[in-house]
């Protein structure tokens, strides 16, 4: 009896897969868009073979994304974790990428709150934490928490403090209408509010999740620390008892009005013109006085436009998909990534 080597068996499998692809092909998920507002209403969309599943078990694998709000009515492949190089990102200290794909910085101030997005139906604030080394004129700042107001509801997510970093320990906390949400550890564990207003799903066992407000927006969040290498490169001079765990986030908006405001939100306005000075390595925009709020769940900044009651005469909304601009071929929803 002849025994084939592992290499020979692998070659035989490849030959069989090429002859009988229907046997070896991964089962692709199909999704029917059910929103009557969707241009793809009742259309069946099939996931690509490159990413056949919407929720792959491997957090490093690309997932199938179905965008029922796009007139193209096709699925594409994206990483589920937020991309700090994609449109709608807010990472680092902190660096934003606006709807036009342009990078800008907004420093804010430590232990204060600023409106990232303010629209008639949703308000998103960020709490900044920071550190000011001796001899510096301003704080180094990072986003520690997000607070969201929509309708009569509130939701918040925060990165908990850590003296030293251990990636096996979860540093995410969630609150819905003032009550803490218990989300079991483990990839793909999920939680949904009683009436489906908010859905949370873990992407990996700890420190990474996707928050969805159906038909409004989706937020990818990661908790990360300031590492010793970060500290060395940027000379943050962080203390030994705090690694400044903070959030990396990426937003995908499905229901913004042309009057949207906020540090990030204003970049989604049709009439937006960047205030950043072009041609410099770190374009910084101001507006602390315009976007400062009194708390994480307040909509009282000078430029805030949020109302807990949605106006009936609200102007037509604009759909903006989340894109991964680390891929040079990424485009979508009328916006092209640029470097």
pLDDT at 33: 85
> Residue 125: which of 238, 236, 222, 247 has the closest Cα?
247
> Residue 80: which of 97, 66, 59, 96 has the closest Cα?
59
> Residue 154: which of 131, 189, 180 has the closest Cα?
180
Cβ atoms of 192 and 201 closer than 8 Å: no
Which 3-state string (H, E, C) describes the chain? CCCCCHHHHHHHHHHHHHHCHHHHCCCCCEEECCCCCCCCCCCEEECCCCCCCCCCCCCCCEEEEECCCCCCCCEEEEECCCCCCCCCEEECCCEEECCCCCEEECCCCCCCEEEEEECCCCEEEEEEEEECCCCCCCCEEEEEEEEEEECCEEEEEEECCCCCCCCCCCCEEEEECCEEECCCCCCCCEEECCCCCCEEEECCCCCEEEEEECCCEEEEEEEECCCHHHHHHHCCCCCCCCCCCEEEEEEEEEEECCCCECCCHHHHCCCCCCCCCCCCCCCECCCHHHHEECCCCCCCCCCCCCCCCCCCCCCCCEEECCCCCCCCCCEECCEECCC
pLDDT at 187: 81
Mean pLDDT of 312-338: 42
Mean pLDDT of 127-139: 87
pLDDT at 13: 52
Mean pLDDT of 140-165: 97
Confidence band for 137, pLDDT divided at 50, 70 and 90:
confident
pLDDT in tens, 103-120: 999 989 999 999 999 999
Percent of the chain at pLDDT > 70 equals 81
Judged against a pLDDT cut of 60, whether residue 161 lies above it is answered with yes
Give bridge partners of residue 223 from the DSSP assignment.
247
pLDDT at 7: 54
pLDDT in tens, 187-243: 889 999 999 999 999 999 999 999 999 989 999 999 999 999 999 998 899 999 999
Cβ atoms of 68 and 76 closer than 8 Å: no
Mean pLDDT of 31-45: 84
Confidence band for 55, pLDDT divided at 50, 70 and 90:
confident
Is 126 exposed, middle or buried (CB count within 10 Å of its CB: 0-12, 13-18, 19+)?
Answer: buried
Q: Using CA of residue 147, residue 150, residue 151, residue 155, what is the dihedral sign?
A: negative
Judged against a pLDDT cut of 50, whether residue 77 lies above it is answered with yes
* b/e burial code for range 284-299 (CB count within 10 A of at least 16 → b): ebebeebbbbeebbbb
Q: How far is CA 134 from CA 19, 111, 137, 140, 203, in A?
A: 68, 18, 9, 12, 39
pLDDT at 24: 46
Q: Which residue has the higher pLDDT, 79 or 169?
A: 169
CA atoms within 13 A on the CB side of 106: 30
Average pLDDT, the chain: 84
pLDDT at 200: 97
pLDDT at 331: 31
Most confident listed range (21-25, 43-47, 197-201, 319-323): 197-201
pTM of the complete model: 0.79
Q: How far apart are CA 71 and CA 77, in angstroms?
A: 17
How many CB atoms are located within 10 Å of the residue 119 CB? 27
Judged against a pLDDT cut of 70, whether residue 249 lies above it is answered with yes
Judged against a pLDDT cut of 50, whether residue 325 lies above it is answered with no
């Amino acid at each position: 009896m002849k025994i084939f080597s592992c290499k020979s068996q692998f070659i035989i499998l490849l030959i069989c897969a090429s002859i009988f692809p229907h046997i070896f092909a991964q089962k692709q998920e199909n999704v029917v868009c059910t929103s009557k507002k969707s241009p793809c209403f009742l259309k069946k969309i099939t996931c690509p073979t490159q990413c056949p599943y919407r929720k792959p078990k491997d957090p490093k694998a690309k997932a199938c994304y179905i965008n029922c709000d796009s007139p193209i009515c096709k699925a594409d492949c994206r990483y589920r974790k937020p991309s700090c190089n994609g449109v709608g990102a807010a990472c680092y200290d902190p660096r934003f990428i606006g709807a036009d794909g342009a990078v800008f910085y907004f420093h804010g101030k430590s232990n204060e709150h600023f409106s990232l997005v303010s629209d008639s139906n949703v308000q998103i604030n960020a709490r900044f934490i920071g550190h000011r080394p001796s001899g510096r004129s301003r704080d180094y700042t990072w986003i520690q928490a997000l607070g969201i107001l929509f309708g009569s509801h509130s939701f918040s997510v925060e990165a908990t403090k850590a003296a030293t970093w251990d990636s096996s320990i979860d540093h995410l906390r969630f609150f819905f209408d003032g009550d803490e949400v218990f989300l079991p550890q483990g990839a793909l564990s999920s939680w949904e509010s009683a009436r489906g207003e908010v859905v949370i799903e873990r992407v990996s066992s700890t420190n990474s999740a996707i928050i969805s407000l159906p038909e409004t927006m989706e937020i990818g969040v990661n908790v990360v620390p300031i590492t010793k290498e970060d500290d060395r490169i940027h000379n943050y001079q962080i203390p030994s008892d705090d690694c400044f765990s903070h959030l990396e986030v990426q937003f995908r908006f499905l229901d913004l009005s042309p009057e949207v405001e906020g540090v990030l939100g204003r970049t989604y306005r049709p009439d937006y013109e960047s205030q950043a000075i072009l041609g410099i390595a770190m374009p910084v925009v101001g507006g602390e006085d315009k976007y400062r709020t009194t708390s994480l769940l307040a909509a009282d900044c000078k430029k805030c436009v949020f109302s807990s009651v949605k106006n009936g005469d609200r102007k037509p909304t604009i759909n903006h998909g989340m894109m991964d601009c680390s891929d040079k071929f990424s485009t979508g929803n009328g916006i092209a990534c640029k470097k």
